[in-house]
Amino acid sequence: MSKLGITSFASAPAKIILFGEHFVVYNNPAILVAIDKRIQVNARLIPDYGIHIHSDLQEPFHYTSIKSRSNRLDEIRNKPLYPIYDAILRSIPDSFETGIDIRIKSEIPVGIGLGSSAASCVSTIAAVENLFKVPERRAICLKAMASETIVHKGSSGADCFASTYGGIIHYIKNQGFSRINVHKIPHLVLLNSGLKHSTRSMVSRVEEFKMQNESKFRELCKRASVICQKGMAAIQSGNIEEVGSLMNENHVLLQTLGASHEKVDELVDLCNRYGALGCKLTGAGGGGSVVALMMEKNFSKLESEAIELQYEVLPVTLDSRGLEIH
């Protein structure tokens, strides 16, 4: 029986990294929090043998023949939606003989460190696989990691795990993840510097730092690891003052790596002036956004000032749902 016209729907959350970005690429631990901003993907089988991707994040992507996959690789490899195309190819069966139409809707701004690329790959793979079989979370996550690796080779995979499983996770690249079971997180606020960054180039910058400062980098890794360990205990015991002060320490390490930016540091200072318990860049840095841990009573003053200075402010809460497939 033909499945043409059948549609499937999946959604997955963005994330912030509370502790350990960049270091996680080198098998150090990281703590990630899935947040209540999601990517939604609709997949539909169509009769034209092509792959069509429409996204409110990027230019549309059309690839006219699934059967001649490899012919135009050089032409399409640099397109922003190429990882999604790759994710689709990983999800269709070998016997696939029709076309596919993908619609991506996002609440996550691109290039500000919130994992839009991982959430897009996770939800695309889930929506497409769901057209053919019962999808399995871990397999989806691993495929999404493989598609993400196309964009930046050293990817730790942390973003894909946070997006697939939701909640707060402790992650180590060569060991996997464990859940940190708390039901409430303190007030987290994101401030967008307005500077988009490329994760790939920031990861290369850190690699350069590592090559030129081997022993310093080893020392920073040790300190980052201790921060993460203490961070996990502080989250579990609800000691938010300690979480905040560890976030500040973590930001200093990221500055030393060269992962921050003047504008990002200005935002961190702004949050601290308005009573943040802690604040740091989140994600790859070099722009992007900062995450601040605030008492609710201090939030509205910070918000007014940040808006006055024309920064985007996004209060966020914990997403415990992770990937959802319909």
> Helix, strand or coil for residue 99?
strand
| Residue 115 engages ligand MEV in binding (rule: CB under 6 A) | yes
Binding part of the chain for ligand MEV, among 84-92, 125-133, 153-161, 269-277 by CB under 6 A, reads 153-161
159 binds ligand MEV (CB under 6 A): yes
Residues 177-216 that bind ligand MEV (CB under 6 A): 199, 203
Query: For 88, which DSSP code?
Result: H
Q: Closest-CB residue for ligand MEV?
A: 156
- Which of 36, 74, 101, 159 is labelled catalytic? 159
Which one of the spans 22-30, 43-51, 62-70, 86-94 is the region binding ligand MEV (CB under 6 A)? 22-30
Structure tokens at 318: 């914990």
Q: Scan residues 25-64 and list those touching ligand MEV (CB under 6 A).
A: 25
The verdict on 260 binding ligand MEV (CB under 6 A) reads no
* Residues paired with 41 in a beta bridge: 10, 104
Name the percent of the chain in helix, strand, coil, to the closest 5: 40, 25, 35
Smaller CB separation from ligand MEV, 158 or 267: 158
Residue 147 contacts residue 121 (beta carbons within 8 Å)? yes
3-class secondary-structure state, position 312:
strand
Binding to ligand MEV (CB under 6 A) within 266-325 occurs at: 283-284
For 13, phi then psi, to 5°, come to -85, 160
Near ligand MEV by CB under 6 A, which window of 82-90, 152-160, 182-190, 297-305?
Answer: 152-160
Q: Which residue from 28, 55, 116, 156 is in contact with ligand MEV, where contact means CB under 6 A? A: 156
Q: At what angle do helices 137-151 and 82-89 cross, to 10 degrees?
A: 140
Among 11, 22, 92, 191, binds ligand MEV (CB under 6 A): 22
Number of C-beta neighbours around residue 313 at 10 A: 17
The arrangement of strands across the sheet holding 187-192 comes to 278-282, 289-294, 187-192, 312-316
Choice between 90 and 205, CB closer to ligand MEV: 205
* CB 49, CB 98: distance < 8 Å: yes
Q: Hey, which residues does 282 pair with through a beta bridge?
A: 289
Report which DSSP code applies to 68: G
CB-based contact 268:311 (threshold 8 Å) = no
**Closer CB to ligand MEV, 15 or 187, in the complex:** 15
Find where tokens 């196309």 sit: 150
Which strand (E) or helix (H) includes residue 219?
Answer: helix 214-237
Among 10, 19, 21, 172, binds ligand MEV (CB under 6 A): 21
Q: How many residues bind ligand MEV (CB under 6 A)?
A: 15
CB-nearer residue toward ligand MEV: 91 or 156: 156
**Smallest distance, Å, CB 28 to ligand MEV?**
10
Closest of 63, 115, 55 to residue 92, by C-alpha: 63
Options 102, 158, 290, 293; binder of ligand MEV; rule CB under 6 A: 158
Compute the least distance from the CB of residue 316 to ligand MEV, in Å.
15
CB of 64 to ligand MEV, least distance (A): 32
Q: Minimum distance between the CB of residue 114 and ligand MEV, rounded to whole angstroms?
A: 8
What is the C-alpha to C-alpha distance for residues 277 and 173, in angstroms, rounded to an integer? 29
Active site residue 94: no
Binding residues vs ligand MEV (CB under 6 A):
17, 21-22, 24-25, 113, 115, 155-156, 158-159, 199, 203, 283-284
Q: Which residues are catalytic?
A: 159
